[in-house]
A = this chain, B = another copy of it.
């Protein structure tokens, strides 16, 4: 398991850095679109199990939103148009198809939530277009990886108290604390290597905040999986579960970092 994860990471990380720093922004947009569509398909597969027609409608509406979201360089009017179309399309789908109204409404609602949830991924594209975007994307990824690694080893070594057994039985308080510690260290390292102009305290506080929010996001995806009675969201990456399992802890941090960067 650990071996497979390291092998995947050894291929994925250099490739990702090349895409973020060297390739034109459109390449990152395409990557995010593909990841987003796979994540959406995984989500709909879990949320609307075996209801193929509703999955297809949700995927179509979500694909429209994702395509617009990665096409634009910041969230604006076209995204509002796409979202409105998606919601109207899902509601019209309840009326115009001969589905049970209760099931139809429940499935439309789950689809809307999944679309909005997965589309958070587009903040990577919008962050890429900001000043120093590639560096901030690297920071998010380093933050996620260091936080995951710290949680894994601290949990394995010292894990005793359950963090939230109702949602995710494997996670421990010690793992969560370890994740914040390694994220703080990685934040300081990033400051030295990538952001000499930022104060080290800013980067450390930001790193801890993002790691904490990332773990909350991880728990949210666990809650979704539990509610839908599934274990893993998919099987794309060897040892890593599905795309949704990989991106869950990045979604909230990348959104926070994006709005932080446009505000300050």
Our pick among B76, B95, B105, B113 for the contact of A75 (Cβ within 8 Å) is B76
Rounded to whole angstroms, the CA-CA distance of A255 and B86 in the bound complex is 12
Q: Bound state CA distance, A116 and B115, in angstroms?
A: 12
* Chain A, 168-203, CB within 8 A of any chain B CB: none
How far is the CB of A216 from the nearest CB of chain B, in Å?
Answer: 6
- B223 A77 Cβ-Cβ under 8 A: no
Residue A51, interface by CB 8 Å: no
Q: Given A76-B75, A92-B216, do A223 and B87 touch, yes or no (CB 8 Å)?
A: no
- Chain B neighbourhood of A110, CB < 8 A: 105-106, 109
Bound: A262/B77 CA distance, A: 9
Of residues 219 through 264 on chain A, the ones whose CB sits less than 8 Å from some CB of chain B are: 219-220, 222-224, 226-228, 252, 255, 259, 262
Q: Is A102 an interface residue (CB 8 A)?
A: yes
Instruction: Indicate how many identical chains form the complex.
Output: 2
**Can you list 21 contacts pairing A with B, beta carbon distance less than 8 Å?**
A76-B76, A79-B80, A83-B83, A83-B116, A84-B123, A84-B255, A87-B113, A88-B220, A90-B113, A92-B220, A95-B164, A95-B167, A95-B216, A95-B222, A98-B166, A105-B223, A105-B224, A105-B227, A109-B109, A109-B110, A112-B113
15 more contacts with CB within 8 A, not counting A88-B255, A91-B220, A106-B227, are A74-B77, A75-B80, A77-B262, A84-B255, A87-B120, A91-B117, A92-B220, A94-B223, A95-B222, A101-B223, A101-B226, A102-B227, A105-B110, A105-B224, A109-B113
Give me the interface of A with B, judged by CB distance under 8 Å: 74-77, 79-81, 83-84, 87-88, 90-92, 94-95, 98, 101-102, 104-106, 108-110, 112-113, 116-117, 120, 123, 164, 166-167, 216-217, 219-220, 222-224, 226-228, 252, 255, 259, 262
